Amino acid sequence: MSFHESDIANLESDSDSLEEIEIDLSKAVIPKRVKAWLDFSDQKSTEWYAEGLGEKYPRHTMSDPEVVAGAIAFLTREGYLSGNQFCEWGSGLGVAAGVAAILGMDAVGIEREEELTEKAASLAKEFGLSITYLPTSFLPEGFEETEGIGGKDLLIYDDHLSRERSALSTTIGDLDYADIDLVLIYPWPDQEEMILQLFEFVASPDTILLMYLGDGEIAGFLKS
């Protein structure tokens, strides 16, 4: 199966399809159990990193868990979410998925490093959380990323190229992104535009994307 770099001018959604949401962390109310989860997961991850986990996965960088927790709590409290289905792209040790689960969401974490998903699952189980982890890429069949000018570009395989959104895959195994209400990711800086493009393709209207940008900054986007 061959593929070509997507013509963004032809395949990209209208620029108005994503509306930025102002995330006001000062309005976030973080429950005590979420705080306990953050402390617990921080302790366990510190132990694992001391045992060499960071050396095995040097590109694995954790977002600020308190900022992410505040953002999810804000969206929940302010009524932005249209449902309770949560998915993290690149979930690592599953800290954010745990926050979402505690806040009443059905949480799924997607992480291609199987060892990290195993540790995330053990972490959640020990704390008494029910979370699904998928050890795979978050890119659906037919999508790929490649080096572009100034950052990553989104690729779409030949037999998935279409102007009709219904022709593009939105599934990872049994998980359908069309059913997800909140997506979270901490992308590399050169991935940000590609992630926005992917989200536009696979998300349903009223789905929200939270993108952690580093240094305590987080952005929210609502798909119209």
Model confidence pLDDT, tens digit, residues 205-218: 999 999 999 999 99
Residue 110 near residue 172 (C-beta atoms within 8 A) = yes
Residues 6 or more apart whose CB falls under 8 angstroms from that of 7 comprise none
Task: Give tens-digit pLDDT for 77-86.
Answer: 999 999 999 9
180 within domain boundaries? yes
On average, the pLDDT of the chain sits at 85
CATH of the domain at 63: 3.40.50.150
C-alpha 172: how far from its chain's center?
A: 13
Which residue segment(s) compose the domain that 39 sits in? 27-136+167-223
Task: Write down the pTM of the prediction.
Answer: 0.85
150 within domain boundaries? no
54 within domain boundaries? yes
Task: Give tens-digit pLDDT for 120-165.
Answer: 999 999 999 999 999 999 998 878 765 554 555 565 544 444 444 5
117 within domain boundaries? yes
183 within domain boundaries? yes
Say yes or no to pLDDT of 12 above 90.
Answer: no
113 within domain boundaries? yes
First to last CA, the chain: 33
CA atoms within 13 A on the CB side of 130: 3
Cα separation, 224 vs 217, in Å, equals 23
55 within domain boundaries? yes
Number of domains present in the structure of the chain: 1
61 within domain boundaries? yes
- Residue 155 confidence (pLDDT): 57
Task: Give tens-digit pLDDT for 88-132.
Answer: 999 999 999 999 999 999 999 999 999 999 999 999 999 999 999
The percentage of the chain sitting over the pLDDT mark of 70, rounded to a whole number, equals 82
Cα separation, 212 vs 68, in Å, equals 7
Task: Give tens-digit pLDDT for 24-67.
Answer: 999 999 999 999 999 999 999 999 999 999 888 876 778 999 99
Identify the DSSP state of 30.
-
**Tokens 């992917």, residue located:** 198
Say yes or no to pLDDT of 172 above 50.
Answer: yes
Q: State the pLDDT confidence band at 191, using cuts at 50, 70 and 90.
A: confident
> Alpha helices of the chain — where are they, by DSSP H?
8-11, 32-50, 53-56, 65-77, 95-102, 114-127, 192-202
Say yes or no to pLDDT of 69 above 90.
Answer: yes
